[in-house]
Structure formats: structure tokens, C-alpha cells
Structure 1
């Protein structure tokens, strides 16, 4: 093939410059020979004779950008595509992400624009390699989304040809895939941590609290304004100090924007905490002349926007004074403008439908957002379910401005969960029946096949029967595959239900000290992990047992009068230092705090014990 004349190279560079200026994507890092060949292929399809003619086509037909990008990015999806960038992700990004989190803390990953799933499964392999298969199954959730339902269906199958697996590092095929005929399926135990779903990046709400967001060569299909909106959604989706991994063709973000570049060459960025989100933070290099419009009256606009929000919201200052109440909060909880300026704890909403004080205090002290799930509120004979978000409002240098309490009405979700559980039970029952039938048919097939093999040389009629049985076996395998698909869908639903229940457990579990909650009869209502570690009694053994009947190394006789005081007096609170025997049989000194569990009416409804090992007997 002869080299193009120098003037053709200059004209081709003008096409790349136009793509960079008009759409904000840089293809100059691609190999010129293959890149020019693909552009010329598209030019021939639209009848453009020269590069200048093709630029005219792009100017008058915005849809041509999508067709061109699809032509340039042939076979864009693949395992570990752009190995150098993935090596950086595995060697630098994932270790840094893990170092900032405790060994038990869950990790949430979002693969946006996942196509047929190769990128999502590449992420699964990378994290499994970093923390081990067992820890991966317990800690990591990978949410893979796309707008293409056919691509999502293929991704859920997790089945690929040998050619589609060419990007896998050496040795990973045998470790992470199982061969069925001429195709390879991703390991089922790891597949359960990858959740596929449809999400339109432009219209649908983003997934929240994401630690690592991967969106490679997807933004280029949108114009500059839409890119800005999507990047703002990505900024919202990321957890504090969350990281974002883009494709190599996408333009670099400015150092002063809401994403801090960690490696510009490989397009890895970190979320900048507390940065303002606006159009100016996402302006591409190709738009130096764009200026924001002059907007006045923003304070009044923000005030009306807050008041008209469809979600009930209350904002308190750093001194716990009620500063803002929107219309939905007034309607839902009987508040009014007269309550602004009062202490939050003087308002009924501070303790019903849920006691807010510990969560607000925790959000203030830890500077992190909290969620309170499954909050029931009975109002005018109706039951409303809320998910309450408690968010610290931080200023510059992480100074606390106040705390926002948002009540999200999730009654529809509760109803949906009930329906899903019912459907889940029905599907499980049907699956068990079909599985039993399948096993019986396979047993019958084996018996018939054995008879056919013995008689096939002498009886042509039995040979015909044998062929029919083989056909039946193939149909059974097809039925089994369909049942497997149903099973995967059931697991996906189960994982979603698990996510809804995990948070309720996490608050009690995350407290390292031993926590025991007693009812008025001194029976144990709650027994956390710290208590298990201290006394060696599992939660299921302790809960429901009378405290004085519990066989542990704590001198219960000394504890009895203190507990009885707490049960009789709502203001009771006591601290003891006791000699005890821990679960390992060692003598220890335990500091024990006992306080009454005060109800809404001010009476004791039980007792709360906090126990912590403070040393050994002198």
C-alpha cells in the first residue's frame, strides 16, 4: 500500500482536530495508518471524496459522529482492552482504593456502558486477584449498566467464544472460565457479585456511593452539554475520594475541575470532595470561547427550589438549631415556619418517626453520610415507610456548616419487595419441580442409552430410537440452560434484597465494644459482634435468653442491681469495672456502662449495656 501524499496527512489531521474541537475527544494517540483507513472507510460509505468534504458532512449531520465513532472503535469491547491502562488500574488504583478502606468495608464498582459484559468481568478478575476470591464474594458489588437490552442479555449469559477472550492475561482462562462446547462461561461463584441492569446515563438516576466508576469510550457519543450532565451525575455517584477510569480517546479534565487527575495518560481521576458542580467545571479544551450566562437572583431561586422539593428535608446548623424546613417536611410532620430557630431536639420530628439524635451526632463527628432504612410512620391511618439520609454539610477545609436530614418515601419499594418475595417463592418452587423432572428424565435417558448401545449393531429400529433419545437429551440440556437463567435472575433479586437489609445490620455490627440490649424482663433483645468476641456466645444463642441465665465469664450477681435500677428509673446510668473471664478463658478487667433504654413517654423500656475489655487484673 502506497503512503498518502503529505497534503492528505494535513487534511486528515484537520479531521482529528475538528473531532477534538467539536466533540471534545482526542484520537491523536491512535495509530495513524489504521485510524486513517477506518475514517476513509466511513467516507466511502457516505460518498465523501476528500477529508474536507467529510468535515462538511459532520457539520451538517450530527448523527454522523456516532457512525464514525462506531467505525473507529471496531471491536471496542473486550477483556482488559488497553492493557497498559488496566495494568495501572490493577497495580496502582485498586491497591490505593483498598488501602483507604477497612478489610471488612464493602466495595461498590460501577461499569457504565458495559456492552456485552467483558469490562465488568475484567473488573471482577482484577478485584479477585487483589483481595482473593472469598473476600471478593463477600465485599465487592459490581453494577454493570447499559441502554442496550440485547447487550445486557448477552452479558448476563457470561458466555464467550475463544476469540472474544483474547485479551485475557496468560493463565486466567483456566482459572476464571469453564468450557462448555466451543464457548467459555465466567465462574458462577464470582458472577453473582456482578449485577446487570439498564441505565440511561442521560435520563436515569446514577447509582450512588460508588468507589470506582469505569466508563470507557462512552462519553464520546454525546455532545458537550450532555457530557457535562453525565459527568455531574458521575461526580454525585462517587463516594468521597472515589475514582473514575475513562477511555484513552476522551479529553482530559482540567486540574481545577471537580475531578483531580491521578494519571492523565491512562485517564484515571479522583473525585474532589466538596467542589461545586456546574458547567464550568466540565468545559473541554475545544470550547475556549464558551461563556456562562449571567444568572441573578440565585439565593431566592435556591430557597424556592429547596422549599418545593418533593422530598421532605430539614437542615440544622452546627449548633443543632433548625435552619430550614421545606414544604414536604411541614406537611409530613406537622412543622411550620415557627419551628425555624428552635433546637431540633425540641421538635417531635427529632424522635419520631425515628430517633435522629444519635445519627446527627454521628454524621457531625465522623463527617460522613448515614442512611436509616425501614422507618415506619403512621399518619392519618396510613402507613408510610421512609429511608432517612443524614448528610453533613461541609464547607471549605471540611468545616462543618450543618446537617441535612432527608426523608425519602420508599413505601412503593416496600410494596415492590413484598411482591418480589412472593414471586421469588413461586419461581423457586417451580424451579425445584422442574429440576426434579429434569433429573428423572436424565436418569431415564441414561438407561435407554445403555440399552441402545448393546443392541445397535443388530437392530436398526433400536438405532432409530437411540437417535430420538439423543434429541430428547439436547432438549433437556436446553431446558436446563433456561432454568439456569431463571436461577441467575433469582440470585440477582436476592442480592438486591440483601443490600436493603445490610445497612440495618451494619450500625450495630460496626461498634467494636460489646453492646447488649435488654427488655423490661431482662431478656436479651440484641447482642452485637463485639459481645460475641468478648464472651464467645453467638448472637442466635444469646438473643431471647434471660441475662442472669447466660453462662459467660461476667459476674452477673454484681450486675443485677445496676440493671434493675436502669429498668426502674429512666434516668439511671452507672459505670462498673468488673473482673471477668473472657471467651478465651483469660482473666480480664471489663469496663461496663449501664443506662436505661428510655422510651418516647420518658419511661424505661429496658437497659443498654456497653462492655469493653480494658486490661488484665493487676
Structure 2
């Protein structure tokens, strides 16, 4: 088991409080792996640093949620399980309902919608198109709004459509460009909406609930909570269809397997105890021979083994019995007192709102799982609140019955434990049978530890599948970019060859000149220095390029050249020529004719970019 990291838990609390995504019920190993992957992409060293990054960069939430919510799905995923559902489950489910009764389906964790539309195709094939449109509602939910928006478009590429049989693809999809769109007239039966399985209320009266490879991301406690909600959501006889990595080994009180191999389960009805009426029907006429009926009724009520309390319609205590006094201390001395003044009205459970609801709705209510601690012992109670009405339908009062279900609770726990052992034994037998049928089939999971390992491996597989899809997309983009770069490289190669040819030609021209030539930029830094200039002044090109022209240690009187250089570099860029006395590289006095012309670019509006200085010497 992973040790709790307080910094990581603080990050989860921040995600829940700031964006409403509660990941505290997810398995820490897989959740931390995915968060760490995102942290490495933004170069966050630890969880506090990443939390700071989220606070500064709100757009990062989207990237993080896309990494956590892998959203790997597909049409007819695990085809064998879908074939079994269609052939052996849906027919019986539809036959059990009247011909015009609605069929309600819930696809929990629908991601980009492939599973919901698979359900639509399977049901349409079972019922026929007309009956499907009239009777079926498919509620597809997820926590990821971006995935839901994509699912509502019902548009899929060729890669997603490969899993759809060709005859179904032709019947239920319409080609639009290079994509395939699910039929609009059938799409109205598929309703997409956001639902967090951990926090939000479940959809009710569901006949078929699919939640495939979503439970495996949650820890055992959260799985139990979600499965309890699924049990509430399903109608009696409803079917739960899970993914191949999910087993329900310890939830036999909620679901029983229809086919364990294909992970199809049926809802187990919850049996509620039904207590008889507190008061019998009025004694019919002709019973005048029976005497002492009032005393008999009172004694029977007082001696009842169930703690009972009768209230008038205006909330006064009217009847109590001995069991009630022994359990809660309420006796005949309290008759006539307002019920709200008794501790029993709010301890061990707030009863006044149930009494008001029973009076208003005129129906019996039950309050289950009430724990009452007394003298160090805990008693488990179930409270029945029944309105009492007269012959004319008027409200006479309310009767409260407190059922002691402590022994039943113990028996239920023992039965649940026995069911767990039985289910484990059944799983081992199933695994053995499959080994005998074929050595290639996967061994069935036989205990909770191995189940956890399978779920972890399936999670990793889906992460890798998601990563593979991302890499394929990136590879296509990189290939396109590579083609573009290759084209640019070819152009650069041609341009480089042309430039080399031009430079070679320019070098030949400058070498052929008898005069020394220097090209300077606007800051008088030398950009080019030809061979004749090297011969004249005794400095090589590599020594002077980049140097300031007026800082050269050569025999030119630069003070006499400044006005002419300034004129060439001015806005108008004038040309000039001057003869000056100088000393060449051999130390001999020479007369040098220096001509200076502005260097202009192709765009005249940009002004001069430098100057061209031509130096030609005559010996004195």
C-alpha cells in the first residue's frame, strides 16, 4: 500500500475545491503516475510547485484533467461480451416488459460516446428502428465536458470505425467528408450529460446500466459507494454490464452474476420487512357477544414485542407500550405531551420530518439503518412511520413502530461473509473450468489482491493506448513538418549554391581590382577588406573585419577622411574623393586617392547601409 503523501493530498483537495473534480476516491498509484507525467511535461519538481503552477496558469487544468481522465473507449469493445449481451440478455430484458413500456439505459463513463452509440445499434437491432425511436432512452454521462461535447457531435474517423461491422456502419452512419456521423433520427434517443459517479445523484428506473472499465480506477471504498448507487439506479431485474477487469467479488448482496466471464450481473432486490397494521379493521356488526374488547386491545398493544408509539393528528402522545418504555423510557406518563418535547423526537434520529411527510403523503415511510447506543451496547433499528386514517379518509394520527433488527443485521453480515466466501469459491471453480476449456484463455481472478493487480494493469494498458494514439498523431504532424523542412532545405541548398557562386564572383571581381576596397557599415565597422587593401596596408582581412575603420593602425591620415565619410553615411549619402599623403606597409611615403560612395540597399527608403571606400596609391 502506498504511504499517504500530504502534499499530493493537498493537491487533490485544491482540485476539488477550485474546479469541483473529486479525485480523492481514485487509486493513488495510478493517479499519482498520471499527475507525475503531467508534472514532468511542465517541469514541476514536486506537488507544491505544481499546485503553484496551476494557480498561475488556469489553462493547465484542462491538460491535467485530460491526462487523468484517460477516456480510452471504442465501438463494440470486447466484442465477445457484446455478442453475449445482445444474444442472451437483451431479448429476455425486452420480453419481460410490456410492448409499449419505455426502456431506460445508462452508459456511465461514456467518454467520447462510442459505447452509447454501440448500445443504440444493439437495441435498434433487437427492437427494430421504429420501436427503438419510440421506447428507448439512453442516458450517457461523464465528468469530462470536452469529451461530452465531442460525443454529441457523433462524428468519427476511419480508425474508430474499424471496430463497427460493415453492415452496421452502412445502416447507422452517414459519411460526411472523410468522417462518419451517427444517424440524426436515432441520435435523439441518446442524451448526454455530466455526472460524477462519486458525488452526483444516480439516474433512476434504469433497465440496463453499462459502466465498462471505469470502476477499476477507484479504491475499494469508493467502488462500494458507486455500486450502491448503481443498485439504487437499476429497476428490479435490471442488468449491470461491467468491463473485463471488474469483478464485484464482495458485493453479492447487491448483484448476482448472470455471466461472470463476460461481467454481466443482475440486481439483487432489497427485501424490506413489512409490518402489519397497528390497529385492526373495525369489528363488524354481530360481534356483540365478545366482551372486554377495549381492554383486550389495550393489553395487546401494551404487550407487543415491538416498541410502538401512537400520536394524534396534532402531534400529542396518545398510546405507548411496555417495550417502548424499556427501550426509550417513554411511558403512559407521557400521554398528552407534545411529541416534539420528547427526546425520542430527535434521538436517535430526527423523526418529525418523517411524521410530517407520512401525514402529507398518506403513505408508510421506513427509516433504515438507525443506530441507538445504550449502556455501551449498540442496537440497530428500523423505524416504520404509518399514517392512521378513518373510514372517511380523515387523518386520525400517526403510529411509530421501532423494529429491533440487530439480530437480522448480524445475520446479514454473516450471510454477506458467507456470500463472499461462496463467490470466491465460485470464482475459483470458474477459473478451473476455463483452464480445462482452453489454455489460452485468461485465468479468472480469485481474490481481491489479484483483482487489484488486474485493474492496475488494465489502467496502465489504457494509459499506454492513449499515449500511443497521441504518439501516432504527433508522428503524423512530425512527418508533415519533416516534409516541409525538406522542401525548405532544398530551397536553401539552391539559394546557398547561388550565394556561393555570387560570393565567388564578387571575390574574383574584388581580387582583380588594382585598388584597395573596404566596405563599412553605418557604424564604420569593416564588413569586407579585399586583397589589394591587404597588400597596401599589410593587414589581413581576418584581422580587420569587424574592427572600426578609424581605429586601424595603418598609415592613413583619418582626420582628413572624416568629413568625406560623414557625407557618405548621411541621409542623402553623398560621394566624394580626396588625395592624401600616407605611408604604406613598407614604410614608404605614398599619395593615396581615397574615394567614398554610399552603400544603399535594395529598398531606397531605408537610406544608406554603410559606405564603400576605394584606396589607390601612387609612389611619391
TM-score (norm 2): 0.37
Q: Which has the larger radius of gyration?
A: 2
* TM-score, normalisation: structure 1: 0.37
